[in-house]
Amino acid sequence: MNEQELHFFRTKNEGYEPFTPAAALKAFENDIIPIEFFINKSTSVKSIEEKPYDFEAIDRMLAIKDIDIKTTRFLMMIFKIMVKDRDSERALYGAEAINVIESRYNKRIEMLKEKLKKEGDQNIKYELAQKYYELALISEKQKDIKRFFLKTAYYYLKDAKTGNTLAFKNLELLINILLEFNFNKQALSTIKNIDIKHKAALLFLLARVEFKNKHYNEVYKILQEIKQCGDTLDDEIKKILEYWIGNNERAD
């Protein structure tokens, strides 16, 4: 270890210390701190979901533009906690990060709307419905805003229908919207009107709806049926099957 590195580790907790890799890089570029700060902030093997939260890892995750909704919801939860932090830098970072995520959604939605005007493609309506649904999920605590986004998602999805049928991705989104509205019985009647025998993905969707309706015996029966689909199942469904029914079979 050279003298510069030793000096860094001796003095890293003195004076100004940037709290994210982005801030560290900016500070380095302005000759406020040595490059070792940026290197230190940019190397982390800690899980993003482990507490206390690794804000450097979260910062790197935010830099990725195309992140899934599960990760986005997690990040939004963290950022909403950060805006209440007594540390003004963290509070400001949390507010800016929330704005970044919301701005990405708004830009994508505006782009899709413009594209829809030009092309009139039904798939664009589905994409718009999906984006509004995701906005509803990240607005969980803002009930009126969440409801507005869900309604908008529903209307776009309704327009995306071809005749009286829905593709599976559209059907799944419709069911998810109904469940978010707590229209559990309507969701159940919607999916029961479709032939889903030997279709693992649709059966799993039905199991979710039955669970929301507290029909736990029905959930067990459906999962038994799904298990017969064998190697066609994805890892997520396999884990849920293992949790609910394990390797045991009911006696006839």
Beta bridge partners of 162: 165
At residue 133, what is the residue type? Y
Average pLDDT over residues 61-89: 87
Tell me what pLDDT residue 128 has.
95
Give pLDDT tens digits for 172-224.
899 999 999 999 999 999 888 887 777 888 888 899 899 999 998 998 899 88
Distance between CA atoms of 220 and 244, rounded to whole angstroms? 7
Q: Which two tokens stand for residue 4?
A: 């510069």
| pLDDT beyond 80 at 249 | no
Q: Which two tokens stand for residue 49?
A: 């979901």
- The CA dihedral of 160, 165, 167, 168, to the nearest 10 degrees, is 120
Tell me what pLDDT residue 133 has.
96
Distance between CA atoms of 47 and 53, rounded to whole angstroms? 8
Q: What are the structural domain ranges in the chain?
A: 121-181, 190-252
Three-state secondary structure along the chain? CCHHHHHHHHHCCCCCCCCCHHHHHHHHHCCCCCHHHHHHHCCCCCCCCCCCCCHHHHHHHHCCCCCCHHHHHHHHHHHHHHCCCCCHHHHHHHHHHHHHHHHHHHHHHHHHHHHHHHHCCHHHHHHHHHHHHHHHHCCCCCHHHHHHHHHHHHHHHHHCCECCECCHHHHHHHHHHHHHCCCHHHHHHHHHCCCCCCCHHHHHHHHHHHHHCCCHHHHHHHHHHHHCCHHHCCHHHHHHHHHHCCCCCCCC
Q: Which two tokens stand for residue 167?
A: 């593709």
| pLDDT beyond 90 at 30 | no
| pLDDT beyond 60 at 252 | no
Say if residues 34 and 25 touch (Cβ distance below 8 Å).
no
**% the chain with pLDDT above 90:** 32
Say if residues 185 and 213 touch (Cβ distance below 8 Å).
yes
